[in-house]
Amino acid sequence: MKTETLASKTLLVCSITVAVTAFVALLFIARNLLPLIFGSVLIAVVLNRLARKVGGVLPASVSRRIRVGAIMSVLVVIAFIGVYGFANSASEQIVRLADRVESSVEEVWQAAKDQPLIERYLDGDAKVGSIVPSSTKSLGLATNFFATTFGGLADCLILVVLAAYFAFSPHNYRAGAIRLVPIGWRDRLSDLMSESSETLWRWMLGRLLAMAIVGILFGIGLAIIGIPMSVELGIFAGLVTFIPNIGGLLAVVPALLLATQQGSTAALSVLALYLAIQFVESYLITPMVQQHQVALPPAMVILAQIVAGLMFGFWGIVFATPMFALALLWVKELYVEEWLEREES
């Protein structure tokens, strides 16, 4: 009897070990999907909070699912109109920019050919085409570009679909996750999930405020300088501000490219505007927001972005900050308060 009990326990331990190992291996293989799942949870939390806010205005007969569906529909329509308007406005500017870049390259190439040192190693009939990639390489670059683009669209579709499922039936997924832990831990996990939802909501509120302020300031500044597409570029700057630190660099690149069409003075003005807005965001907006929302150490945020980028790729960088905010909460609740401080007391 004891032998059978020992054998059954050994089999159980081995089975659990194999299951955990297989689960960890699966997570490692599909690690690029984890930020998308987290992002969909973040979006679902925001949608449900917005639906709760809207529910205080609408009649009680309007269910939560209807409110969530209406909010998602409005956001999708706004996103479609924004992308369509940005594409129409940008098409003509991109053509002009391409022509200007091509003429600038020709001028630089002609000036380089006049230099004695370079002239020794070039034939007299050498043209810009000699340094341009061949058609085969260009085709490879185009293939990679379209593969990356369609891959990004597929990721966005996964993000939206998962967020919709999580937002429409949050209690089902929450109850399923809680049932995966022992009964004695379920109440603590339920409370921790509620705190996590509150943390994500407060972080998102702070980020939305920073995004709005940066987008408005950048758009107004570009309009004063005289840069075309100032409204579209302001909206773009506000959106990429969702990614702390890196978003500012992404915002200034298209504005600088358009400013080069108007000369060095406009480009320097855009650069000065970018630096001024970064100063305002870093030393005024962020401290003001963190007084009422989620305070995160700046150095740790940068490290979290680097680590998440190495582990999960692009989407890891996008959602690194909210993942770091959530990790701080779980470490504080489960490690510091439940273990360290409990042992000291």
Better-predicted residue by pLDDT, 176 or 9: 176
Q: What is the C-alpha to C-alpha distance for residues 203 and 199, in angstroms, rounded to an integer?
A: 6
- Using a 10 angstrom Cβ sphere, with 0-12 exposed, 13-18 middle and 19 or more buried, the burial of residue 287 is exposed
Residue 48 has pLDDT above 60, yes or no: yes
How many C-beta neighbours within 10 Å does residue 240 have? 20
What is the mean pLDDT of the segment spanning 170-179? Answer: 89
Q: What is the mean pLDDT of the chain?
A: 78
> What DSSP character marks residue 99?
H
pLDDT at position 79 is 82
221 pLDDT band, cuts 50/70/90, is very high
Contacts of 173 (CB under 8 A, 6+ apart): 165, 166
What is the mean pLDDT of the segment spanning 306-330? Answer: 89
What is the mean pLDDT of the segment spanning 34-42? Answer: 91
Longest dimension (CA), the chain: 95
pLDDT at position 332 is 86
Question: Do residues 279 and 312 make contact, with C-beta atoms less than 8 angstroms apart?
Answer: no
Backbone torsions φ then ψ of 25, nearest 5 degrees = -65, -40
What is the mean pLDDT of the segment spanning 202-209? Answer: 88
Better-predicted residue by pLDDT, 64 or 221: 221
Contacts of 330 (CB under 8 A, 6+ apart): 192, 196
What is the mean pLDDT of the segment spanning 199-216? Answer: 89
pLDDT at position 249 is 83
Per residue in 119-173, pLDDT tens?
555 554 444 444 444 444 444 544 554 455 556 778 888 888 999 999 998 888 9
pLDDT at position 297 is 78
Backbone torsions φ then ψ of 121, nearest 5 degrees = -100, 5
- The number of residues making up the chain comes to 345
Residue 178 has pLDDT above 80, yes or no: yes
- Geometric angle at alpha carbon 101, from 98 and 104, rounded to 5°: 150
Contacts of 118 (CB under 8 A, 6+ apart): 112
Question: Do residues 216 and 237 make contact, with C-beta atoms less than 8 angstroms apart?
Answer: no
Residue 232 has pLDDT above 70, yes or no: yes
CB environment 81-96: b (16+ within 10 A), e (fewer): eeeeebeeebeebeee
Q: What is the C-alpha to C-alpha distance for residues 167 and 49, in angstroms, rounded to an integer?
A: 10
SS in 3 state form for 150-213? HHHHHHHHHHHHHHHHHHHCHHHHHHHHHCCCCHHHHHHHHHHHHHHHHHHHHHHHHHHHHHHH
Per residue in 258-272, pLDDT tens?
887 777 888 889 999
Helix axes 34-55, 320-330, angle to 10 degrees: 80
Residue 301 has pLDDT above 90, yes or no: no
pLDDT at position 97 is 57
pLDDT at position 139 is 46
